[in-house]
Structure 1
Amino acid sequence: MTLADIYQRPLIIGTAGHIDHGKTTLTQRLTGVNTDRLPEERARGISIDLGFADFTLPSGQHAALIDVPGHERFIRNMVAGVHGMDAVMLVVAADEGIMPQTREHLDILTLLGVSRGLTVITKADTVEPEWLPIVEETVQEALRGSFLEQAPIVTVDSVSGRGLVDLLNALETVARTVPPRDATGFVRLPIDRVFSVRGFGTVITGTLVSGTLRPEDVLEVVPGDHSVRVRGLEVHGHKVDYAVAGQRVAVNLSGIDKDHVHRGQMLAAVGTVKSVDVIVVEVLLLASSPILEQRTRVHVHLGTAEAIGRVYWYDRESLEPGDTAFGEIRLESSIPAIRYDRFLIRSYSPVFTVGGGRVLEAGVHHKRKEAGLLGHLALVASGNTKAVVLEQLRACDAPCSIEKLAERAGYRVTEIETLCQDDPEIVYGPDRQVFWKPYLPDLISTVQHFLGEYHQDHPLRRGIGRERLRDSLWPKWSLRSVLFVVHYAENVVVEGEWVRLADFVPVVEGAWAQEIESVYQAIDASARKPLTVEQLIGMTSIHTERFFDIIDYLLSQKRLVRLEEGIYISTPVYIASRDIVIEALQERGALTTSELRDVLEANRRFAVLFLELLDALHITRRQGESRTLVS
């Protein structure tokens, strides 16, 4: 087998059917492998766990085969193998016909989404030839209304080999209808076997349901959130450089002990699959099942995982046979799950299959009276990703990150990012934020109107600070969301920390000019003994808010220098003081703060603040207790 053979479109075929109907014998005849690997299986002559083998179709395409146990006691093992099947061979023995486990297996296959396959009538040598058409007729009747109703029925004798060529040709025809799985998505591999190999360590096997695996990939095992690294890969017993969705894969892992891995966990791309103890679901109850009451305890099978939980319906107290409903299942243990995973429900005791369905939301809890809940779930169930995303976006009163939208909508970022970039109803803006386009004009108008009034009230200011704009308009928003709106307001500009209308220019008019000079003269006159804000406001009798507008204006005009918040000196005082310090340091070398204070003829508070400002401006450099000039 060449690597080119291995990397053909993957195909996994499963068996299903009643116990002792010849599934394992048929598998061995097709593959040359006895999939009953456990000593107990060989001693008892029945399959207990999943068996795996590979074989070749007439075209040369290689396929994997999953042989499932038929006994009702081992249904849980059978279910663990179904999630990986692309197609199924429903096996019916000619000497017994349709049996209880035949019907239950068919129900399980249907509920878990298997939609391709064929029927094989085995043990043809155990009945008279004229009996075979009657068997086939009863099988056709039993399959009416199922996904196998129009599928081929092939009769074989696994002992003599009669009919095997016809079976292989029929499987070839089915194989051509199987679409490829998503090899570009994130890695998801439900684990069905774990063992240890001397010299290699922990090995897991499973069907890669999505993504592409490569050696050295760093992944995680969920539940447990164990970080692991892929050491090596095998497909059909051959070492490979990568494995793609739809293949049976053996993965050699480093970073985890065999005792910390078990069937039911999932190998997944880091951060893509959650371990959850509640799933929001759409459930179909089989017509043959009893009524499923509110809070009924059930077994839940999802992928290779199994958990016990209770069913809670959102719009009813019970689900009638044959009906479908929305609800949630609260689990007693965590399982890995994502949206649209299929699951099976079996009664708690006695155990039998009652229904199944799809996960609509994983790790989410809803209240029964939640407004719009049923409509939302119907939308999710429809599979219309765009509709779900738009529904969530319309519920957002502020721009949000693409990551937050993905979380709210229940999709991966990669699934919706292109949609958000391309959809004309969605604004995809700075910092990968998104917003519902029809809502944006009103927000832009709000910003523009606010800034217009702000400029009237504060004609000296360069604009309003970004944080203050947020606090004034949308205090619960993030600054990123506010700036998103500003970005799309054509006549609004951002200059550093300031936001203003594009055509606004600070204007000094009326009483403002006199007040500006009054404040400036008071600060200039205080020289190296600066006054506090409270003192200045008291001296000038200017309203506090107008006073700070004036201070901001004088700073913007470079007529004032800030020593610290609330302490200002005039620019001429700053220049004169700076020159005094420079001259002293040039003449006398390094000087202490006390010595420079004397040079400045100022109090210690002014000297400390002023010298720290010179340090910040890289005019002086502090070295211990002294300062020198920066050369």
Structure 2
Amino acid sequence: MTIDLGFAWLTLLGGREVSLIDVPGHECFIKNMLAGVGGINAVLLVIAADEAVMPQTREHLTTIDLLAIHHEVVVLSKVDLVNADWLELVREEVREALTGSTLASAPIVPVSAHTGAGLAELLLTLDRLLDTLPARDQVRGVPRLAIDRSFTITGFGTVVTGTLRDSVLSVGQEVELLPPGLRVRIRGLQSHQRPIGQGKPGMRVAVNLAGVHHRDIRRGHVLTLPGALTPTTLFDARVRVIDDVSPIAHHAALDLFIGSSETPCRLTLLDTDELTARTEGWIQIRLTVPVVAAVGDRFILRTPSPSRTVAGGVVIDPHPPRHRRFRSEVIAVLTLRDQGSSEERLCQTMGRWPAPAVHREFSCCRYH
């Protein structure tokens, strides 16, 4: 049974390589699963044909939906263990489970690792899926590597791994480990066990670091440029509550999963006394341990006990002031930052807090 993250890569028929992050499927290891899905842009959902949809399958689907991952292939494995009628029933059950999610139109491919049936079709389907994915190798900010493993290799020293986002990392570069704030140097880079001089956004990379022991690094730390990012213990967010959960009250204690980190938090509900199932709301998330967050980052919220996913959301402002509740001007600013045009968001950022709630055209004019 898979209980922690696993990593591999696959060369498709057209010669393209894809990085694979194997996450635990069992419901007891959902927390480990969440540490691996923060950097992915497509999902290969494997469902055993002889077992069909399980409770953890539904929780994985909920997580995928909350993280707004829109590209998926569903694999029905072990088809050699079932007959055609049973396989068709499982296919219908899977399609029903996908209804209403971001993955409702995902292709379903039956396969058997034992006989090899369906594997060629799966490779073709993955190739077609890659053609639909947005490019991730464009530089659009500072590099961020959410670390999911840290270990040491004899003769090399400390190595960390993760999925690189937003910009490049190069051999010889000085970088910073957050939240600790440790300055270190990149001795070497690898991707798919091959040395590289530069890691690009979207790549799985292993980074050999000088100046730090692997025991000082943990899953959830972030590697970035010195001084480029500041960890936070407070951020604004828009949150969506899933179906069939109890209301989330103001000041609720939950577990936050963002990037590869897991951190206890408390919620300040800004526009309501409680968030009920299938509703959205504006919140401030307060943490005792700092995390690295950026505008647009998605996260998951789970109850500590019993451990269960209850909501997910997106970061609107990673470094806000502390808000008072039920303030219309605060909600107006959050709405503008979330839904406004690029010009409106720029004008609001230049003016910072507060921004006029109604006549947006005048709020922009005064900064020209």
Q: TM-score, normalised by structure 2?
A: 0.93
* Contact persistence 2:272–2:326 (CA under 8 A): no
The residue number in structure 2 matching 1:231 is 187
Tell me if 1:201 matches 2:132.
no
Find 2:215's aligned residue among 259, 267, 278.
259
Tell me if 1:69 matches 2:24.
yes
Offset of residue 304 of structure 1: 0.3
Offset of residue 56 of structure 1: 0.6
Tell me if 1:382 matches 2:313.
no
Find 2:166's aligned residue among 191, 196, 210.
210
The residue number in structure 1 matching 2:359 is none
The residue number in structure 1 matching 2:314 is 358
Query: Partners of 2:352 and 2:2 in 1: how far apart?
Result: 53
The residue number in structure 1 matching 2:93 is 138
Q: Please list the CA deviations of residues 358-394 of structure 1 after superposition, one character each: whole Å capped at 9, or x if unmatched.
A: 1111132222254510011011112633212212445
| Alignment gaps of 5+ in structure 1 | 1-45, 397-407, 410-424, 428-434, 438-631
> 5 Å matches for 1:552-631?
none
Evaluate the alpha carbon distance shift between residue 241 and residue 298 of structure 1 in structure 2; reply closer, same or farther with a 3 A threshold.
same
The residue number in structure 2 matching 1:119 is 74
Offset of residue 183 of structure 1: 3.5
User: Which residue identity is paired with 2:44?
Assistant: M
Query: Partners of 1:331 and 1:164 in 2: how far apart?
Result: 45
Query: Partners of 1:119 and 1:369 in 2: how far apart?
Result: 43
Offset of residue 175 of structure 1: 0.6
Offset of residue 319 of structure 1: 0.3
Query: Partners of 2:196 and 2:211 in 1: how far apart?
Result: 21
* Contact persistence 1:264–1:305 (CA under 8 A): yes
Task: Count the aligned residue pairs.
Answer: 359
Tell me if 1:180 matches 2:135.
yes
SS at match of 2:89: helix
Q: Please list the CA deviations of residues 264-294 of structure 1 after superposition, one character each: whole Å capped at 9, or x if unmatched.
A: 0000122222211112111000012211111
SS at match of 1:179: coil
User: Which residue identity is paired with 2:367?
Assistant: W
Query: Partners of 1:340 and 1:383 in 2: how far apart?
Result: 14
Q: Please list the CA deviations of residues 434-462 of structure 1 after superposition, one character each: whole Å capped at 9, or x if unmatched.
A: x713xxxxxxxxxxxxxxxxxxxxxxxxx
| Alignment gaps of 5+ in structure 2 | 356-362
Structure showing the higher strand proportion among its residues:
2
Structure showing the higher helix proportion among its residues:
1
The residue number in structure 2 matching 1:85 is 40
Query: Partners of 1:244 and 1:383 in 2: how far apart?
Result: 30
Query: Partners of 2:342 and 2:149 in 1: how far apart?
Result: 34
Offset of residue 242 of structure 1: 0.9
Query: Partners of 2:83 and 2:172 in 1: how far apart?
Result: 58
Query: Partners of 1:56 and 1:224 in 2: how far apart?
Result: 37
Query: Partners of 1:162 and 1:328 in 2: how far apart?
Result: 50
Query: Partners of 2:252 and 2:272 in 1: how far apart?
Result: 13
Find 1:349's aligned residue among 305, 310, 318.
305
Identity %: 38
User: Which residue identity is paired with 1:58?
Assistant: L
Give the structure with higher Rg (CA): 1
Find 1:60's aligned residue among 15, 22, 47.
15
The residue number in structure 2 matching 1:436 is 367
Offset of residue 395 of structure 1: 6.5
* Contact persistence 1:310–1:331 (CA under 8 A): yes
* Contact persistence 1:263–1:305 (CA under 8 A): yes
Query: Partners of 1:393 and 1:192 in 2: how far apart?
Result: 35
Q: Please list the CA deviations of residues 166-192 of structure 1 after superposition, one character each: whole Å capped at 9, or x if unmatched.
A: 111111110111111254221100000
Q: TM-score, normalised by structure 1?
A: 0.55
Evaluate the alpha carbon distance shift between residue 395 and residue 219 of structure 1 in structure 2; reply closer, same or farther with a 3 A threshold.
closer
Q: Please list the CA deviations of residues 516-568 of structure 1 after superposition, one character each: whole Å capped at 9, or x if unmatched.
A: xxxxxxxxxxxxxxxxxxxxxxxxxxxxxxxxxxxxxxxxxxxxxxxxxxxxx
User: Which residue identity is paired with 2:76?
Assistant: I
User: Which residue identity is paired with 2:226?
Assistant: V
Find 2:51's aligned residue among 96, 112, 130.
96
User: Which residue identity is paired with 2:161?
Assistant: T
The residue number in structure 2 matching 1:287 is 243
User: Which residue identity is paired with 1:386?
Assistant: E
The residue number in structure 1 matching 2:296 is 340
Evaluate the alpha carbon distance shift between residue 369 and residue 319 of structure 1 in structure 2; reply closer, same or farther with a 3 A threshold.
closer
Tell me if 1:321 matches 2:277.
yes
Offset of residue 258 of structure 1: 1.1
Query: Partners of 1:56 and 1:91 in 2: how far apart?
Result: 19
